[in-house]
Homo-oligomer: A and B are copies of this chain.
Amino acid sequence: MKKINLKVKLGQRIILKNPVVLESGCFGYGEEYRDLIDINRVGAIVTKTITLKPRAGNLPPRLVETAAGLLNSIGLANVGIELFLKEKLPYLKKFSTPVIVSIAGEGSEEYLKLVQILNKEKIAGIELNISCPNIKKNLVIAQDEVETFNLVKAVRKKTELPLLVKLSPNVTDITRIAKSAEKAGADILSLVNTFSAMGIDSETGSPRLGGVVGGLSGPAIKPIALRMVWQVRKATSLPIIGAGGILSCNDALEFIIAGANAVGLGTAIFVNPHAYQEIITGLKKYLFRKAIYDVNELVGSLHEN
Protein backbone atom coordinates (compact mmCIF):
# COMPACT_ATOMS: atom_id res chain seq x y z
CA MET A 1 0.00 0.00 0.00
CA LYS A 2 1.36 3.33 -1.05
CA LYS A 3 1.97 5.84 1.69
CA ILE A 4 -0.32 8.83 1.87
CA ASN A 5 1.30 12.20 2.40
CA LEU A 6 -0.66 14.61 4.54
CA LYS A 7 2.29 16.85 5.30
CA VAL A 8 1.76 20.44 4.31
CA LYS A 9 4.12 23.40 4.23
CA LEU A 10 2.65 26.81 4.89
CA GLY A 11 5.23 29.23 3.56
CA GLN A 12 8.88 28.58 4.16
CA ARG A 13 8.88 27.68 7.79
CA ILE A 14 5.66 26.23 9.05
CA ILE A 15 5.38 22.51 8.50
CA LEU A 16 2.22 20.68 9.49
CA LYS A 17 1.96 16.92 9.95
CA ASN A 18 -1.45 17.16 8.42
CA PRO A 19 -3.62 19.98 7.14
CA VAL A 20 -5.94 20.21 10.15
CA VAL A 21 -5.58 23.41 12.16
CA LEU A 22 -7.45 24.24 15.36
CA GLU A 23 -8.71 27.78 15.00
CA SER A 24 -8.37 30.77 17.22
CA GLY A 25 -10.85 31.16 20.03
CA CYS A 26 -12.29 27.68 19.76
CA PHE A 27 -9.44 25.83 21.38
CA GLY A 28 -8.84 28.32 24.19
CA TYR A 29 -5.28 27.96 25.43
CA GLY A 30 -5.17 24.26 24.61
CA GLU A 31 -5.15 23.08 28.19
CA GLU A 32 -8.93 23.10 28.41
CA TYR A 33 -9.05 20.28 25.89
CA ARG A 34 -6.16 18.38 27.49
CA ASP A 35 -8.23 15.24 28.03
CA LEU A 36 -10.06 15.29 24.70
CA ILE A 37 -7.65 16.39 22.00
CA ASP A 38 -4.14 15.10 21.42
CA ILE A 39 -2.33 18.22 20.30
CA ASN A 40 0.49 16.12 18.91
CA ARG A 41 -1.82 14.73 16.27
CA VAL A 42 -3.08 18.05 14.99
CA GLY A 43 -1.49 19.97 12.12
CA ALA A 44 -1.21 23.24 13.97
CA ILE A 45 -3.00 25.25 16.60
CA VAL A 46 -3.86 28.90 16.76
CA THR A 47 -4.32 30.34 20.23
CA LYS A 48 -7.23 32.42 21.42
CA THR A 49 -6.54 35.97 20.30
CA ILE A 50 -4.28 37.67 22.84
CA THR A 51 -4.28 41.38 23.60
CA LEU A 52 -1.83 43.57 25.44
CA LYS A 53 -3.99 43.93 28.51
CA PRO A 54 -6.26 41.23 29.89
CA ARG A 55 -9.84 41.54 28.65
CA ALA A 56 -12.89 40.43 30.53
CA GLY A 57 -14.94 40.23 27.37
CA ASN A 58 -18.52 41.21 26.56
CA LEU A 59 -21.67 41.16 28.61
CA PRO A 60 -23.47 37.80 28.61
CA PRO A 61 -25.33 36.15 27.01
CA ARG A 62 -22.47 35.44 24.67
CA LEU A 63 -23.73 32.43 22.77
CA VAL A 64 -26.80 31.71 20.66
CA GLU A 65 -27.43 28.70 18.52
CA THR A 66 -28.92 29.59 15.14
CA ALA A 67 -30.00 27.44 12.20
CA ALA A 68 -26.87 25.33 11.60
CA GLY A 69 -24.80 28.10 13.13
CA LEU A 70 -23.37 29.56 16.29
CA LEU A 71 -23.54 33.23 17.09
CA ASN A 72 -20.98 34.43 19.60
CA SER A 73 -20.03 37.64 21.26
CA ILE A 74 -17.08 36.69 23.42
CA GLY A 75 -15.41 40.05 23.02
CA LEU A 76 -11.83 38.79 22.90
CA ALA A 77 -11.90 37.74 26.54
CA ASN A 78 -8.29 36.72 27.28
CA VAL A 79 -5.67 36.83 29.97
CA GLY A 80 -3.43 39.38 28.23
CA ILE A 81 0.02 38.77 26.80
CA GLU A 82 1.87 38.76 30.10
CA LEU A 83 -0.10 35.98 31.77
CA PHE A 84 -0.35 34.20 28.46
CA LEU A 85 3.41 33.89 28.18
CA LYS A 86 3.80 32.96 31.79
CA GLU A 87 0.97 30.55 32.30
CA LYS A 88 -0.45 29.41 28.97
CA LEU A 89 2.25 29.21 26.33
CA PRO A 90 4.60 26.88 28.27
CA TYR A 91 1.93 24.18 28.15
CA LEU A 92 1.51 24.47 24.40
CA LYS A 93 5.23 24.38 23.74
CA LYS A 94 5.45 20.87 25.13
CA PHE A 95 4.02 19.47 21.93
CA SER A 96 5.57 18.80 18.56
CA THR A 97 2.85 20.82 16.86
CA PRO A 98 3.33 24.36 15.55
CA VAL A 99 1.78 26.96 17.81
CA ILE A 100 0.56 30.10 16.13
CA VAL A 101 -0.24 32.97 18.45
CA SER A 102 -3.19 35.13 17.43
CA ILE A 103 -3.01 38.75 18.48
CA ALA A 104 -5.16 41.84 18.27
CA GLY A 105 -4.69 45.41 19.31
CA GLU A 106 -6.62 48.60 19.41
CA GLY A 107 -4.55 50.51 16.93
CA SER A 108 -1.28 49.49 15.32
CA GLU A 109 0.91 50.48 18.29
CA GLU A 110 -0.63 47.70 20.34
CA TYR A 111 -0.08 45.19 17.56
CA LEU A 112 3.55 46.24 17.31
CA LYS A 113 4.11 45.97 21.04
CA LEU A 114 2.62 42.48 21.02
CA VAL A 115 4.83 41.48 18.12
CA GLN A 116 7.92 42.74 19.81
CA ILE A 117 7.11 40.72 22.90
CA LEU A 118 6.41 37.60 20.84
CA ASN A 119 9.61 37.96 18.84
CA LYS A 120 11.47 36.62 21.84
CA GLU A 121 9.33 33.48 22.01
CA LYS A 122 9.79 30.19 20.26
CA ILE A 123 6.53 30.07 18.42
CA ALA A 124 5.68 28.96 14.89
CA GLY A 125 4.10 32.20 13.83
CA ILE A 126 1.96 35.17 14.61
CA GLU A 127 -1.60 35.52 13.33
CA LEU A 128 -2.94 39.02 13.07
CA ASN A 129 -6.60 39.06 13.95
CA ILE A 130 -7.47 42.25 12.11
CA SER A 131 -11.17 42.13 12.72
CA CYS A 132 -10.75 44.71 15.45
CA PRO A 133 -11.45 48.34 14.80
CA ASN A 134 -8.75 50.87 14.19
CA ILE A 135 -9.58 53.01 17.17
CA LYS A 136 -8.40 56.20 15.52
CA LYS A 137 -10.50 55.82 12.44
CA ASN A 138 -13.24 53.70 14.01
CA LEU A 139 -13.08 51.28 11.16
CA VAL A 140 -12.39 47.57 11.18
CA ILE A 141 -8.93 47.02 9.78
CA ALA A 142 -9.83 43.87 7.85
CA GLN A 143 -12.58 45.77 6.08
CA ASP A 144 -10.20 48.25 4.49
CA GLU A 145 -7.41 47.57 2.03
CA VAL A 146 -5.25 50.47 3.08
CA GLU A 147 -5.58 49.82 6.77
CA THR A 148 -4.76 46.19 6.21
CA PHE A 149 -1.76 47.05 4.11
CA ASN A 150 -0.44 49.55 6.64
CA LEU A 151 -0.81 47.27 9.61
CA VAL A 152 0.66 44.21 7.95
CA LYS A 153 3.52 46.27 6.56
CA ALA A 154 4.29 47.77 9.96
CA VAL A 155 4.25 44.38 11.63
CA ARG A 156 6.28 42.78 8.85
CA LYS A 157 9.08 45.23 9.49
CA LYS A 158 9.23 44.26 13.13
CA THR A 159 9.23 40.49 12.94
CA GLU A 160 10.90 37.62 11.18
CA LEU A 161 8.37 35.16 12.48
CA PRO A 162 5.99 33.71 9.90
CA LEU A 163 3.13 36.14 9.63
CA LEU A 164 -0.45 35.03 9.19
CA VAL A 165 -3.28 37.42 8.48
CA LYS A 166 -6.83 36.43 9.37
CA LEU A 167 -9.34 37.92 6.99
CA SER A 168 -12.87 39.01 7.74
CA PRO A 169 -15.73 37.84 5.49
CA ASN A 170 -17.65 41.05 6.09
CA VAL A 171 -16.31 42.70 2.98
CA THR A 172 -17.38 43.48 -0.55
CA ASP A 173 -14.37 41.86 -2.17
CA ILE A 174 -12.15 39.70 -0.03
CA THR A 175 -9.55 39.33 -2.76
CA ARG A 176 -8.62 43.00 -2.44
CA ILE A 177 -7.89 42.65 1.25
CA ALA A 178 -6.02 39.42 0.56
CA LYS A 179 -3.88 41.11 -2.06
CA SER A 180 -3.16 44.03 0.27
CA ALA A 181 -1.98 41.62 2.94
CA GLU A 182 0.14 39.79 0.40
CA LYS A 183 1.74 42.97 -0.90
CA ALA A 184 2.46 44.11 2.63
CA GLY A 185 4.39 40.94 3.33
CA ALA A 186 2.00 38.42 4.87
CA ASP A 187 3.23 34.83 4.64
CA ILE A 188 -0.04 33.02 5.06
CA LEU A 189 -3.71 33.96 4.81
CA SER A 190 -6.28 32.62 7.21
CA LEU A 191 -9.94 32.90 6.27
CA VAL A 192 -12.64 33.36 7.27
CA ASN A 193 -13.39 34.90 10.61
CA THR A 194 -17.03 35.07 11.71
CA PHE A 195 -19.84 36.92 9.94
CA SER A 196 -21.29 39.91 11.69
CA ALA A 197 -24.80 38.87 12.71
CA MET A 198 -27.45 39.07 15.40
CA GLY A 199 -30.48 37.46 16.94
CA ILE A 200 -33.54 38.88 18.64
CA ASP A 201 -35.73 37.36 21.30
CA SER A 202 -39.18 38.29 20.06
CA GLU A 203 -40.72 37.62 23.47
CA THR A 204 -38.65 40.25 25.24
CA GLY A 205 -37.88 42.43 22.23
CA SER A 206 -34.21 42.38 23.19
CA PRO A 207 -31.09 41.23 21.40
CA ARG A 208 -30.14 37.65 22.20
CA LEU A 209 -26.52 38.61 22.71
CA GLY A 210 -25.31 40.93 25.44
CA GLY A 211 -23.11 42.53 22.81
CA VAL A 212 -26.11 42.93 20.44
CA VAL A 213 -24.09 42.03 17.33
CA GLY A 214 -21.81 38.99 17.30
CA GLY A 215 -20.07 36.62 14.93
CA LEU A 216 -21.74 33.79 13.08
CA SER A 217 -19.80 30.54 12.55
CA GLY A 218 -20.58 26.93 11.77
CA PRO A 219 -22.12 24.98 8.85
CA ALA A 220 -24.50 27.83 7.99
CA ILE A 221 -21.64 29.94 6.63
CA LYS A 222 -19.75 27.17 4.86
CA PRO A 223 -20.92 27.90 1.30
CA ILE A 224 -19.94 31.56 1.64
CA ALA A 225 -16.57 30.85 3.25
CA LEU A 226 -15.83 28.30 0.57
CA ARG A 227 -16.51 30.82 -2.17
CA MET A 228 -14.13 33.25 -0.51
CA VAL A 229 -11.34 30.70 -0.23
CA TRP A 230 -11.78 29.86 -3.90
CA GLN A 231 -11.62 33.54 -4.86
CA VAL A 232 -8.56 34.22 -2.74
CA ARG A 233 -6.84 31.15 -4.16
CA LYS A 234 -7.15 32.66 -7.61
CA ALA A 235 -6.14 36.13 -6.50
CA THR A 236 -2.97 35.38 -4.55
CA SER A 237 -0.30 32.72 -4.37
CA LEU A 238 -0.01 32.70 -0.59
CA PRO A 239 -0.79 29.57 1.37
CA ILE A 240 -4.32 29.58 2.76
CA ILE A 241 -5.80 28.18 5.93
CA GLY A 242 -9.45 27.84 4.99
CA ALA A 243 -12.15 27.78 7.64
CA GLY A 244 -15.84 28.36 8.06
CA GLY A 245 -18.28 25.64 8.99
CA ILE A 246 -16.02 22.65 8.48
CA LEU A 247 -17.38 19.72 10.48
CA SER A 248 -16.59 16.65 8.44
CA CYS A 249 -13.94 15.31 6.14
CA ASN A 250 -16.19 16.10 3.23
CA ASP A 251 -16.28 19.75 4.26
CA ALA A 252 -12.49 19.76 4.57
CA LEU A 253 -12.16 18.29 1.08
CA GLU A 254 -14.33 21.03 -0.36
CA PHE A 255 -12.04 23.69 1.08
CA ILE A 256 -8.88 21.94 -0.07
CA ILE A 257 -10.23 21.47 -3.58
CA ALA A 258 -11.26 25.13 -3.59
CA GLY A 259 -7.71 26.10 -2.75
CA ALA A 260 -7.01 25.83 0.97
CA ASN A 261 -3.61 24.38 1.85
CA ALA A 262 -4.86 23.63 5.33
CA VAL A 263 -8.27 23.65 6.95
CA GLY A 264 -9.30 25.26 10.20
CA LEU A 265 -11.74 23.87 12.73
CA GLY A 266 -13.57 26.32 14.95
CA THR A 267 -17.14 25.49 15.87
CA ALA A 268 -16.47 21.85 14.99
CA ILE A 269 -14.32 21.55 18.10
CA PHE A 270 -17.35 22.31 20.24
CA VAL A 271 -19.62 20.03 18.29
CA ASN A 272 -17.18 17.15 18.27
CA PRO A 273 -13.73 17.52 19.83
CA HIS A 274 -12.79 14.34 18.02
CA ALA A 275 -13.57 15.82 14.60
CA TYR A 276 -9.89 16.50 13.85
CA GLN A 277 -9.12 12.79 14.02
CA GLU A 278 -12.12 11.83 11.90
CA ILE A 279 -11.04 14.34 9.28
CA ILE A 280 -7.45 13.13 9.22
CA THR A 281 -8.57 9.53 8.83
CA GLY A 282 -11.13 10.54 6.24
CA LEU A 283 -8.56 12.45 4.20
CA LYS A 284 -6.28 9.43 4.13
CA LYS A 285 -9.05 7.16 2.97
CA TYR A 286 -10.15 9.59 0.31
CA LEU A 287 -6.64 10.12 -1.06
CA PHE A 288 -6.04 6.39 -1.12
CA ARG A 289 -9.32 5.70 -2.87
CA LYS A 290 -8.62 8.39 -5.44
CA ALA A 291 -4.98 7.26 -5.81
CA ILE A 292 -3.76 10.79 -5.18
CA TYR A 293 -1.37 9.96 -2.32
CA ASP A 294 -0.37 13.56 -1.64
CA VAL A 295 -2.86 16.00 -0.20
CA ASN A 296 -0.97 18.91 -1.74
CA GLU A 297 -2.01 17.72 -5.19
CA LEU A 298 -5.61 18.24 -4.25
CA VAL A 299 -5.15 21.87 -3.28
CA GLY A 300 -7.02 24.13 -5.68
CA SER A 301 -7.83 21.22 -7.98
CA LEU A 302 -11.40 22.34 -8.69
CA HIS A 303 -12.48 21.44 -12.23
CA GLU A 304 -13.87 24.55 -13.79
CA ASN A 305 -15.08 24.48 -17.30
Asked if A10 is at the interface (CB within 8 A of a chain B CB), the reply is no
Most buried by B among A143, A207, A253: A207
Determine the distance from Cα of A202 to Cα of B257 in the docked complex, in whole angstroms: 7
Asked if A173 is at the interface (CB within 8 A of a chain B CB), the reply is yes
| Contact status of A224 and B195, CB under 8 A, knowing A170-B172, A250-B202 | yes
Asked if A21 is at the interface (CB within 8 A of a chain B CB), the reply is no
Asked if A117 is at the interface (CB within 8 A of a chain B CB), the reply is no
Asked if A183 is at the interface (CB within 8 A of a chain B CB), the reply is no
Determine the distance from Cα of A170 to Cα of B302 in the docked complex, in whole angstroms: 23
Asked if A269 is at the interface (CB within 8 A of a chain B CB), the reply is no
Most buried by B among A173, A213, A227, A250: A227
> Are A223 and B197 in contact (CB-based, < 8 A)?
yes
Number of copies of this kind of chain in the complex: 2
> Are A200 and B69 in contact (CB-based, < 8 A)?
no
> Are B223 and A199 in contact (CB-based, < 8 A)?
yes
> Are A67 and B172 in contact (CB-based, < 8 A)?
no
> Are A223 and B71 in contact (CB-based, < 8 A)?
yes
> Are A227 and B202 in contact (CB-based, < 8 A)?
no
Residues on B with C-beta less than 8 A from A204 are 303
- B-contact 0/1 string along A212-234, CB 8 Å cutoff: 11001011111110110010000
Residues on B with C-beta less than 8 A from A205 are 257, 301-303
Residues on B with C-beta less than 8 A from A258 are 198, 200
In chain A between 168 and 210, which residues have their CB closer than 8 angstroms to a CB of chain B?
A: 170-173, 195-200, 202, 204-207
Asked if A288 is at the interface (CB within 8 A of a chain B CB), the reply is no
> Are A224 and B202 in contact (CB-based, < 8 A)?
no
> Are B170 and A222 in contact (CB-based, < 8 A)?
no
Residues on B with C-beta less than 8 A from A216 are 223-224
Residues on B with C-beta less than 8 A from A135 are none
- Interface pairs A-B: 8 shortest CB-CB: A67-B219, A197-B223, A220-B220, A202-B253, A68-B68, A67-B68, A200-B254, A198-B227
